[in-house]
Amino acid sequence: MKTIRRHALILFFLLSCAFPYPIHAADKLRIGYGAPSVAMSVLWITKEGRLFEKNGLDVEVLYLESALVQRALIAGNIAFGEMTGSLMSAPKLQGADLVMAAGFLNKLLYRLIARPEIVSPAELKGKRVGVSRFGAGADRATRLLLSKLGLNPEKDLTLIQVGGAPTRLAALIANSIDATIVEPPDHKKAQEAGMKVLANMEEMNIPFQHTGLVTTRAQLAKSPDVSRRVIKSIVEGIHLAMTNAEVSKQAFRRYIRLQQDREQEEALQVLRSFLPRKPYPTIEGFKAVFAELAEQIPAAKTADPKDFFDTRFLEELDRSGYIDGLYR
C-alpha cells in the first residue's frame, strides 16, 4: 500500500511539472468584444498568452459587433464584455445591471479623416460622416469631436451608420462617405490611400471612459472566484502586452489581421502608449460620457460615476502588491 501511495505521489508530481496549468476541469465562460481594434486588444493578448488557462479558466472569446456585446451581457449570454463606456452607460442609466470592472482606454485616440478634397473641418458641412452604429462608442466620439470643432452633428451634416473601422475606411476610400474617425494605426492606412487627417483627438487630450471590461453585479456576486481570476488574467495580460512583443503581435495577426511587421509594431506602440498597469476606470472619463449622453438620457445629468464601476477584485490585487510585483 505504501508503495502504491508513493508511486501515486510521484505520478502527481510528474504531471504537475509536465502541465503547468491546472489539471482539474477549468471553469468555462464566454467574453465578448465589440470591435477588432487596438483599443480592445487586451482581451486577445490575454487569450493568446494562455493566461486564462493559467488561472483555471476556459474562455471563449467572441466578436459581437458594437451593441451586440451589450445585449448579450444583459441577457446573460456572456459573463464579461469588452466595450465602450458609452455603450455600457446608456442602458445602465435606464436600469440595466452593468458595471465596469476594469478600464483600459481612458481617453480618445481617434483621428478624423476625410476625402482628399476636404481640407478643414468646416468643409464637412453638408457632407456624409460615417459612424459604426448609432449609440456605439465611435458614434459618441464622432459627435463629441464634431461639437468641439464647432459643428452641430444633428444639423450641419449627415451621420451614416457604416460599421467597424475597416468598413468605414473602405467606404471612405470608395467615396461612399466623406469623412469618419479611426484609431491609430488605421489612420496611416487612410493617409497612404490619399485621405487627409483633419483632427487628432489624442492631441486634444479629452478624458473619456472609452474601453473597459464590463460585467454585471449579479455575475460578481454569483461567481466571485471566477470573476477574481478573470481580473487577475487581464492584469497579467496587460503586463504581457507591456513586456512581450511577440505574443502581442501574434494577437494582432490573429484578431485584426495585421500581417506586416511594421503594422504590428505601430499597433503595439499605440497600445503601450495608453494602457495603464493598474486598469482603473476614471471618474473624469465617465463624467465625459454622461455629458455626451445627457441630451438623449436626462438621468445622465445627475448620475454618479462611482455607481458605474466595481473594481473590488482589481483593488484586492493592488493592495496585495501583486500588480507592482509583476513589473519588478
Give residue-wise pLDDT tens across range 103-133. 999 988 899 999 999 999 999 999 999 998 8
Q: In 159-303, where does DSSP find H-type helix?
A: 165-173, 186-192, 201-204, 217-222, 224-243, 245-255, 261-274, 283-293
- Within the chain, residue ranges assigned H as helices are 2-18, 42-48, 51-54, 67-75, 85-93, 137-148, 165-173, 186-192, 201-204, 217-222, 224-243, 245-255, 261-274, 283-293, 312-320, 322-326
Q: At residue 269, what is the residue type?
A: Q
Q: Is the peptide bond before 121 cis (omega within 30 degrees of 0)?
A: no
Q: What is the CATH number of domain 25-107+207-326?
A: 3.40.190.10
Spatial distance between the Cα atoms of 58 and 173, rounded to a whole number of angstroms: 40
Output the pLDDT for position 160: 96
pTM: 0.82
pLDDT of residue 24: 55
Which amino acid, residue 201? M
pLDDT digits (tens, 9 = 90+) for 218-267: 999 999 999 999 999 999 999 999 999 999 999 999 888 888 888 889 88
Where do you find CATH 3.40.190.10 in the chain?
25-107+207-326, 111-204
Q: Which three cell numbers stand for residue 182?
A: 479611426
Which CATH superfamily is 111-204 part of? Periplasmic binding protein-like II (3.40.190.10)
| pLDDT score of 164 | 84
> What is the pLDDT at residue 280?
97
The pLDDT, as a whole number, for residue 58 is: 98
Q: What is the pLDDT of residue 216?
A: 97
pLDDT in tens, the chain (328 residues): 444 444 443 444 334 444 444 445 789 999 999 888 888 899 999 999 999 999 999 999 999 977 899 999 999 999 999 999 999 999 999 999 999 999 999 988 899 999 999 999 999 999 999 998 888 888 988 999 999 999 999 999 999 999 888 899 999 999 999 999 998 888 888 999 999 999 999 888 888 999 999 999 999 999 999 999 999 999 999 999 999 999 999 999 988 888 888 888 988 998 999 999 999 999 999 999 999 899 889 999 999 999 999 999 999 999 999 999 999 9
Q: Is the dihedral of CA 276, 279, 280, 284 positive or negative?
A: positive
The rounded distance, in Å, linking the Cα atoms of 318 and 326 is 11
Q: Return the C-alpha cell found at 306.
A: 462611482
